Amino acid sequence: MTKTVTLQEFIMDGQAAFPFVSGQLTRLLTDLAIGAKIVNHQVNRAGLAGILGATDNINVQDEQQQKLDVFADRTFQRILTAGKSVAGIGSEEREDFILCGDAGRHGKYVVMIDPLDGSSNIDVNVSIGTIFSIHKRTTPMGEPLTDEDFLQPGDRQVAAGYILYGSSTMLVYTTGTGVNGFTLDPAVGEFFLSHPGMQFPEHGSTYSINDALLSRATPPVRTFIDGCRETSDPAFRARYIGSLVADFHRNLIHGGIYLYPSLVGKPEGKLRLLYECAPLAFIAEQAGGSAEDDQGRIMERTPSHLHERVPFYVGSRHLLHALNACRKAPVN
Ligand code: P6P
């Protein structure tokens, strides 16, 4: 039986390939895995620990903050700050970025995080996730962080990943040399390499969109969805969990496309560029897929502010091509 590789061993092997690195990225990835284990423990016992449900707070997204949202946000902040690799964190749950350590003067990296995406599903026991994106700071070490450290295009990400708290808990990430998935063995508290070299299948036949939005979507998106519904391919199916990480992960494994489109009255759509779309776009492209908004590659977008929203179409390359063909078709 081949030895199973732990996440820690995999990260350390990755560092060994770059002998002159400081080890701060290794520490950062390790800290994210620790945060994942702590959040996972609480998510798995939420119904018992009296931490289901919402707080009285409305977050910066104008969404009811769930108790587990707050727990996850504080957990990752505490661990990443203690790790000293991170100068600052931009979180979905917070208006402004937070400085880690001595006013963010030290720490080589900044982290964008959606601590618990899909948290409205917690009370009904549907899979939820954490999404993270890692950039090198642009301001010199020793100087205070500015917004510019966070408002970087996806192409400049050093690493990106997600944790899926599902039937099993997985951590999937890339540092730009492919995508690898690790499954948590709760008996030993370790993530083990379970999905090496993840790639979208050549052909996908799943489309994920909130059907209730379609009447407000643009004609190309409506034409594309009509095509998915009317195709002669019996394998085509609609799957929409309403939890981005879960929908993305299923499509990564089985092939498919997830769409959160621009809408009449809401041209920017719903999903956030910095800590949802850009990290998942990095993973998608590293796994042989595509990730776009209505103008092109998400990875080329330079954010204008921390909580910028963009339309998001991500998944199997051939399905994004089919969507783009609908954009070019004459509108009758
Ligand atoms: P809707 C959860 O709030 C989220 O950000 C994603 O996880 C999910 O895919 C989407 O919004 C669901 O949005 O409008 O379909 O409920």
pLDDT digits 0-9 by tens, 213-252: 999 999 999 999 999 999 889 999 999 999 999 999 999 9
To test the pocket of ligand 1, the residue of 244, 271, 313 to mutate (highest count of ligand atoms within 8 Å of its CB) is 244
Residues forming a β-bridge with 257:
207, 315
pLDDT at 139 (0 to 100):
95
pLDDT bracket for residue 2 (50, 70, 90): low
Residue nearest to atom 10 of ligand 1 (CA): 242
* CB 177 within 8 Å of CB 192: no
Atom of ligand 1 nearest to the CA of 258: 9
Which CATH code of 3.40.630.10, 3.40.50.10470, 3.40.190.80, 3.90.226.10 fits the domain covering 206-328? 3.40.190.80
Residue nearest to atom 12 of ligand 1 (CA): 242
pLDDT bracket for residue 331 (50, 70, 90): low
Q: Kindly state the tokens that stand for 199.
A: 């790639």
* Among the ranges given (33-42, 113-122, 158-167, 173-182), the one the predictor scored with the smallest mean pLDDT: 113-122
Mean pLDDT of 122-151: 94
Give the number of other CB atoms < 10 A from CB of residue 137.
23
pLDDT at 288 (0 to 100):
98
Residues forming a β-bridge with 136:
109
Q: Over 80: is that where the pLDDT of 79 sits?
A: yes
- For residues 63 and 56, what is the distance between their CA atoms, to the nearest angstrom? 11
Residue 242 Cα to ligand 1 midpoint, Å, equals: 5
Residue type, 183: T
Mean pLDDT of 188-211: 96
Q: What are phi and psi of 55, to 5 degrees?
A: -90, -175
- For residues 303 and 327, what is the distance between their CA atoms, to the nearest angstrom? 24
- Lining ligand 1 with CB less than 6 A are 117-118, 120, 210, 242-244, 247, 270-271
Q: Kindly state the tokens that stand for 198.
A: 């993840």
Q: Kindly state the tokens that stand for 121.
A: 């599903």
Q: Name every residue whose Cβ is closer than 8 Å to that of residue 185 and which is 6 or more positions away in sequence.
A: 191, 192
The domain ranges of the chain are 7-195, 206-328
Per-residue pLDDT tens digits for 247-286:
999 999 999 999 999 999 999 999 999 999 999 999 999 9
pLDDT bracket for residue 49 (50, 70, 90): low
Q: Kindly state the tokens that stand for 36.
A: 């994942």
Q: Over 60: is that where the pLDDT of 86 sits?
A: yes
Angle at 118 between CA 116 and CA 123, to 5 degrees: 95
At the topology level, CATH places domain 7-195 in Fructose-1,6-Bisphosphatase; Chain A, domain 1 (3.30.540)
Query: pTM, whole model, 2 decimals?
Result: 0.94
